Amino acid sequence: MRNLKVMTAYRGTNYHGFQRQSNAVTVQEVLENKLSKVLNEPVTISGCSRTDTGVHANNFCFNVKTNSNISTLGFCRGVNGELPDDISILSCEDVPMDFHARFDCKGKEYIYKMHCSESKNPFASDLMFHYRRKFNIDAAREAASYFIGTHDFASFCADCTNVSTTVRTIYSFRIENSGDSVIMLVKGNGFLYNMIRIMAGTLMDVSEERIAVSDIPCIIEAKDRLKAGRTAMAHGLYLNRVFYSEEELLAD
């Protein structure tokens, strides 16, 4: 028996998130079907995270246990040959049997992409959120600085019933822009349900002066979802990096 650590990327447009569901097509279902064919045995994969319908991943980790002696290169080539164009295997390596993609994860980085223009971008309709006005980057950066650190992020959680704590640590929150594109990069030790999308939506409300920059500490302190801003659309969100060591997580 072997345990394989696999990195994959996918375009989430055609899927109802990563995790297997009984009534909808998911990334996990497609991967398991193709892996089972290549490995010539039924397999179940363990993913590093759940992603919502329409959310994408530049780097998503899963592990799979198999009796196959296929080489790691053969695995990548064989599975990629079976997968649809919107899912790709990036790498594969043998890891200890006790490695688990979710439970061994030390942190993640997400990005949120926006196209800020009155005119839509026909090449990114499902890959960037179309924000039909100028985005106030200076105000958003100032507001985002309050997210950095260890806080109770209950105000930025759509459903907190299934978590033991809503305290999380955000290591960095950068906002970059080039032309009409704005990208938010958020790195932390963990994230609550819809946390990044609510943060992004709140910064949009800051840009529009619906929420003042100085309100952010009070919103965090309130621990009340109704105090924060809108939930940004799913198709602008990407799981960008997954970290399995503290050194890697704290780099940059």
Return the beta strands (E) in 68-226 as ranges: 87-95, 107-116, 129-131, 149-152, 167-178, 181-188
Q: Inter-axis angle of helices 137-144 and 195-207, to 10 degrees?
A: 130
Residue 194 and residue 217: Cα distance in Å, rounded? Answer: 19
- Supply the residues annotated as catalytic: 52
Residue 117 CA to chain centroid, in angstroms? 24
Both ends of the chain: CA-CA distance in Å? 37
Residue 11 corresponds to which amino acid? R
Cα angle 160-161-163, degrees, rounded to a multiple of 5:
70
Calculate the dihedral angle through the C-alpha atoms of 70, 71, 77, 83, rounding to the nearest 10 degrees. 40
Q: Which two tokens stand for residue 28?
A: 């996990």
Q: Which two tokens stand for residue 146?
A: 């309050």
Closest by Cα among 41, 89, 48 to 65: 41
Residue 204 corresponds to which amino acid? M
Residue 244 and residue 49: Cα distance in Å, rounded? Answer: 13
